[in-house]
Amino acid sequence: MLEDTSFAIHPGKEKIIENTDYRDIGNLVQKHFEHGVLTAHSETGELKVLFYRDDIVRFVMNPFGQASLKSSPALIKEPESVDVTFTETNSLIVLESKLLKVEINKEPLRVTIFDQEGRLIVREGKKGMGYKPSKEVICYKEMGEKDHFYGFGEKTGFLDKRGEKMTMWNSDVYAPHNPETDALYQSIPFFITLRDGKAHGIFFDNTFKSTFDLRTEEEYYSFMAEGGQIDYYLFAGPSMKEVLEQYTTLTGRIPIPPKWAIGYHQSRYSYETEQEVREIANTFLEKGIPLDVIYLDIHYMDGYRVFTFDQNRFPNPKQLVKDLKEKGIRVVPIVDPGVKEDPEYDVYQEGVKGDHFCKYIEGNIYFGDVWPGNSAFPDFTSEKVRKWWGEKHKFYSDLGIDGIWNDMNEPAVFNETKTMDVKVMHENDGDPKTHRELHNLYGLLMGNATYNGMKQHLQGKRPFLLTRSGFSGVQRYAAVWTGDNRSFWEHLQMSLPMVMNLGLSGIPFAGSDVGGFAHDSNGELLARWTQVGAFTPYFRNHSALGFARQEPWSFGEKYEKVIKKYIQLRYKWLPQLYTLFAEAHRTGTPIMRPLVMEYPNDANTYNLSDQFMIGDNVVIAPIVHPFVTHRVVYLPAGRWVDYWTGKILEGNQHHLIQAELDVLPIYVKEGTMIALGAVKQNTNEKDETLTLHLYKSELSTYQFTLYDDDGLSFDYEKGNYLRKIIKVTCQEKEVHLEIKDEGNFKPDWRTLELIVHHGESDINVYVNGKRLSDIKSNTDLPTYVIEQN
């Protein structure tokens, strides 16, 4: 308690800086190069270096003994066979692939990496790899004056993490998140460094509590862990997109979500009865506010027992799910890991009998207090348990449910440490390890169990999973929301760099609780937050028990109108967003991205935290302050078209712009294209017409790709998709589109239309060399039919 007062800074209570006192691994004493793998011994331990691809190299240093090549479950890829040349001089060992050159200095043992164009990527100087006798490990790298750092998963603060010190330890943090809040729910020990417009990445594959220190020393940064090995992968870049392609080659990418999962979602802790859920659904329908999903938070259960419904509150869940589905609305229930200790509860019985719960080495089950009271926790590190948990989800799929919300899976426990006893010994598929070592994997492995179970039950339909906790690789199973934020303007502001950095950490399907979870929201905040949410990959309004309700109509008509307008805008933009989701699935490139990703040579973008891009051609500059209707927008090189007014703004400049409450500033780059559909009530409604909007320039080329598939099944994996590649060339009085289709999906839309913005009235439009004639449309812009199916 005293720690919350000035007593915390009482003289003599200064914090000790942890990464002092390390011992160096010393000189190289012996080495051996075989089958492309270098094994080198230092004075204290062993180093292995191996290439996964020409542009990915892995270093494993165990300062205490043999280096093990066993990876964490983040990894899904084995090394490819890479031609590596080995050379040696008196002082150096050099390993080279086609793209990278690794120099290992012998005395002391130090690593320097260049690309084959001579660009220095990383260097260890006076400091390199080290350890403490207490088994902590550390790796230092030189930090250049011009280095900027991104990624690190879910962190508070601004976009560029230079100057920060960050801990990876999955934590349930209900206390208000602020710039000094460190460990949150996700641990993604991966980052991207940008130097002089070129990028490289490092993934530290260590599941212990780890720290990334970009603050303590001016010339070095470091990553350290409480145990395990120094096991990291270097990704050569040289662009941020390439780094993400490289990182997600190892840790996986998002499956393409079902279309309904990228619509608007409404949640509340909790909609407490069947009646209330029906009323919420009906209100959305009556008011014509689009909606795809309603969430059931913990009150749906019988005494918070997972895989049950409370008979009084939800007497007929099957009927409820069916009725809502007929209206195009899905129900997603919460499933926490804690299983109530209750000898009369079948899930608990099965768990005990099947030996599915986390235990101490002595054999006794670990119990912790969560919503249901004293609870046991499935040991997801065991394949057998993951299978059991997955099978249990038949309970939900049999009710017609195809989405699950995983929460409290850090795992959160109501005690001093906020989590499971670190002494618990996980089964870990026959290689038992303590919770201290595997804590950060709990959410990832619960996601694995849940997603795979649901996938099996849904028989070809795509499941949707939302998770609070995870580790690198969680993107393969789940969307991530940023946990318990508050209805503070500061939290709206903070959500932008947080979600952008999640995207730069391989997790493109992310978002924050729109309107804020705890604390009372208000109309203006909800309206502005919904504007942002409309362009955030994951779009859910959620609020907590005991605070103001925040459904779109909660703060009066004035705000409802604005909120509705932006939920509708989301649906209009779904074809564009869905295309970007498919791109994220294919390449790892995020949907919502910082400007620095597209403009890495423009220093104005390096720490731009209050604007973002959707794809490579749309800048969104939301208002994130109360009672403010003006802001500065930075537009990078090119000319930009105001989405609402058509006005052109010059790039490479800051602009003071005005945005009344009903305006979210959106700018589309001149010379580029977006694809929009119609406003809908939900994603069950199909577009009759899809419209390509071309923002014509005097002279430019652009490649646009439109992606579509059935939005529900996995048939896209078998080629049942449409990828329409459109090469756009603008000339003074002409527009040429060269269109090529890939895949064999026949889309629902019958007509593909083109609208040309700010073109002259006498332009000619050609598609694959054939001239189109203008049709009459309900806009006064020249409109053409490209295709009629």
Tell me, residue by residue from 426 to 465, as one string, x for binding to ligand GLC by CB under 6 A and - for no binding.
Answer: ----------------------------------------
Q: Is 484 a catalytic residue?
A: yes
SS (H, E, C) 218-238: CCEEEEEECCCCEEEEEECCC
Q: Are 141 and 222 in contact (CB under 8 A)?
A: yes
483 is an interface residue for ligand GLC by CB under 6 A = yes
As measured in angstroms, the least distance from the Cβ of 730 to ligand GLC is 47
DSSP element (H, E) containing 682 = none
End-to-end, the C-alpha distance of the chain in Å comes to 69
Single-letter code of the amino acid located at 352: V
User: CB neighbours (10 Å) of residue 662?
Assistant: 15
Taking 3-state DSSP, the helix, strand and coil percentages for the chain, each rounded to the nearest 5, stand at: 20, 30, 45
DSSP H/E element including 436:
helix 435-438
In the bound state with ligand GLC, the residue whose beta carbon lies nearer, of 404 and 756, is 404
Residue 510 in the binding site for ligand GLC (CB under 6 A): no
**Nearest distance from C-beta of residue 3 to ligand GLC, angstroms:** 23
> Residue 334, interface with ligand GLC (CB under 6 A)?
yes
User: Is the backbone peptide bond immediately before 238 cis, with ω within 30 degrees of 0?
Assistant: yes
- Which one of 272, 292, 297, 670 is in contact with ligand GLC (CB under 6 A)? 297
Q: Is 407 a catalytic residue?
A: yes
Nearest to 144 by CA among 119, 123, 165, 113: 123
Does 468 sit near ligand GLC (CB under 6 A)? yes
Neighbour-count burial for 68-99, b at 16+ CB within 10 Å, e otherwise: eeebbbbbeeebeebebeeeeeeeebebbbeb
Rounded to the nearest whole angstrom, what is the least distance from the CB of residue 509 to ligand GLC in the complex? 17
Indicate which residue of 341, 484, 598, 709 is catalytic. Answer: 484
427 in the Ramachandran plot: left (φ > 0), alpha (ψ -120 to 50) or beta? alpha
Contact residues for 39 (Cβ-Cβ < 8 A; gap 6+): 31, 32, 33, 46, 47, 48, 67
Residues that contact ligand GLC, how many (by CB under 6 A): 10
Q: Which is nearer to ligand GLC, 269 or 716 (CB)?
A: 269
Q: Give least dist CB 688 to ligand GLC, A.
A: 37
Interaction between residue 38 and ligand GLC (CB under 6 A): no
Of 754, 752, 757, nearest to 783 by C-alpha is 754
Is 298 one of the binding residues for ligand GLC (CB under 6 A)? Answer: yes
Looking at residues 361 to 400 of the shown chain, list those that interact with ligand GLC (rule: CB under 6 A): none
Tell me the C-alpha distance between 427 and 547, whole Å.
Answer: 41
Which of residues 469 and 475 has its CB atom nearest to ligand GLC in the complex? 469
Please say which residue, 277 or 584, places its beta carbon nearer to ligand GLC: 277
The CA distance from 442 to 172, in Å, is 13
We find the least distance from the C-beta atom of residue 186 to ligand GLC, in angstroms, to be 13
- 713 closest CA partner among 459, 520, 535: 459
Known catalytic membership, residue 513: no
> Cβ atoms within 10 A of the Cβ of 15, count?
5
Annotated catalytic residue, options 124, 407, 513, 709: 407
Residue list 546-575, contact with ligand GLC (CB under 6 A): none
Q: How far, in Å, are 288, 347, 495, 530 from residue 542 at the CA level?
A: 20, 29, 14, 11
| CA-only gyration radius of the chain, Å | 27
For ligand GLC, which is the closer residue by CB, 396 or 634?
Answer: 396
**Based on CB atoms, which residue is closest to ligand GLC, 174 or 644?**
174
Query: Got the DSSP string for 111-154?
Result: EEEEETTS-EEEE--S--EEE-TTS-EEEEEE--TT-EEEE-SS
**Residue 55 engages ligand GLC in binding (rule: CB under 6 A):** no
Question: At closest approach, how far in Å is the CB of 109 from ligand GLC?
Answer: 45
Q: Give CA separation, 185 vs 156, 169, 481, 584, in Å.
A: 12, 8, 10, 23
57 close to 231: Cβ distance less than 8 angstroms: no
Cβ-proximal residue to ligand GLC, closest one: 269
CB of 371 to ligand GLC, least distance (A): 7
Nearer to ligand GLC, 213 or 297 (CB): 297
**By CB under 6 A, residue 538 contacts ligand GLC:** no
Positions in 249-278 near ligand GLC (CB under 6 A): 269
Give whichever of 101 and 468 is closer to ligand GLC, judged by the CB atom.
468
Q: Does residue 177 touch ligand GLC according to CB under 6 A?
A: no
Asked if 410 is part of the footprint of ligand GLC (rule: CB under 6 A), the reply reads: no
| Binding flag, residue 612, ligand GLC (CB under 6 A) | no
- Does 407 bind ligand GLC (CB under 6 A)? Our answer is yes
Q: Which one is catalytic: 124, 341, 410, 524? A: 410
Nearer to ligand GLC, 149 or 300 (CB): 300
CB of 258 to ligand GLC, least distance (A): 21
CB of residue 408 vs ligand GLC: minimum separation in angstroms?
6
Q: Looking at 219-340, list the stretches that DSSP marks H as alpha helix, in order from N- to C-terminal side.
A: 240-251, 274-287, 317-326
The residues that touch ligand GLC, with contacts defined as CB under 6 A, are 269, 297-298, 334, 407, 468, 483-484, 517, 542
Active site residues: 407, 410, 484
